[in-house]
Chain A
């Protein structure tokens, strides 16, 4: 499934900045960054549960905000992208 993760993490404190780094890393493990705090992930059901559990564990529910959207597939049909786009389609041939 295609999932979009967006977050706001309060970074006034050192703890907040640490949470921000952790959230970003967790998202990177499952997908790719498409904007500063927006990630797109292609996941199986199990990986989806794992990602959500992992993120909820990191954030401070009093200060931070996390949104996970399930995207309608196929993505090419329902997602429009304008402007700078550096994202890579992980299903396309990966040759470097």
Chain B
């Protein structure tokens, strides 16, 4: 099992990242702010106007460390990749599975089941912690509805139907998402999930966390040698990392939703840190973005026991483990894909 390497997040405008022998040096206005030996890093995520020297880019690409450029709101812009590595035979198996209706459906079903089960856990936990009885009741109802959808997943005859079930579960889940917010409900109200752009603080926060998680999922798949674009549940579209989106489904609630709620409920992010832009978009301000990244990184360091491997590991390794399990399914070493079930 490989080690969970750290990710360097650069959010300072005008920061310059350069290679200095075997270290990376971050300069802001010609002053060195940080120097890190490159072996500590699994990758680098740059937000907005951050410069990376060609030598640093080349070195990261060569070592297989990811370098991702996002805009200031976490929207994906570009990724620098080295030569295609990994295993051709595995990628062949991955493409072949696409042609097999049974295999595709079986993987997609388990992905959806994992997603619904994990969001149900989040809802149930919030219901237990809730001090308002009507919130608790509403959440328990949602959990029941989710359990009902979950029961129909194994029976879904095709992908279209399965996607319908996933949508139904998502609508039910987000319908009572508000009830899990305990602080400042007026501001942190959610009118269903929206994005591109997110139009309320909760959606802005979720979108930002999903962007962080997405990078980790792509990196995990690439690390195993899978093609992140060749997915099963998500339709293929040029430029869309469909498999990474598949992998992300079961992890969303565990990595992002719960964390967003914690940040709000512990007042680590405040209403004043969200700004509405003309056109209705809501943006997170710089300080809050940093706070969110730090919380996300800390979350990844939390120790969990992986239910399938029965092994202790930091939560951040879970995407890598799931990618590996998926690879085993595609190769035929494992019959069904076991999604990561939280607790």
Contacts and interface: CB of A to CB of B under 8 A. Distances in A.
A28 B35 contact: yes
Nearest to B4: A91
Contacts of A47: 39
A94 interface: yes
Interface in B22-74: 22-23, 26, 28, 33-37, 39-41
B21 interface: yes
B30 to A, nearest CB: 15
A14 interface: no
Contact of B294 (A25, A31, A44, A93): A93
A42 B41 CA distance: 12
B317 interface: no
Contacts of B28: 96
Contacts of B21: 25, 28-29
Contacts of B41: 94
A25 B21 CA distance: 8
Contacts of A42: 40
A93 B37 contact: no
Contact of A29 (B15, B23, B294, B298): B23
B299 to A, nearest CB: 10
Given A95-B11, A95-B293, A96-B11, A29 B22 contact: yes
A90 interface: yes
Q: Which of B7, B40, B293, B294 has the most CB of A within 10 A?
A: B40
B265 interface: no
A84 interface: no
Nearest to B292: A95
Interface residues of A, number: 19
Given A94-B9, A95-B11, A29 B37 contact: yes
B106 interface: no
A95 B6 contact: no
Nearest to A42: B40
A95 B9 contact: yes
Nearest to B36: A90
Nearest to A88: B34
A9 B39 CA distance: 26
Contacts of B121: none
Contacts of B40: 42, 90-91
A90 B37 contact: yes
Contacts of B36: 88, 90, 94
A31 B34 contact: no
Contacts of B37: 28-32, 41, 90
Interface in A60-96: 88, 90-96
B297 interface: yes
B18 to A, nearest CB: 14
Contacts of B22: 28-30
A88 B22 CA distance: 17
Interface string B274-315: 000000000000000010011011100100000000000000
B290 A95 contact: yes
Nearest to A33: B35
Nearest to B299: A93
Interface string A1-35: 00000000000000000000000010011111000
A32 B7 contact: no
B10 interface: yes
Contacts of B11: 95-96
Given A88-B34, A94-B6, A96-B28, 12 more contacts: A28-B35, A88-B36, A90-B36, A91-B40, A92-B297, A93-B9, A93-B296, A94-B8, A95-B11, A95-B294, A96-B9, A96-B10
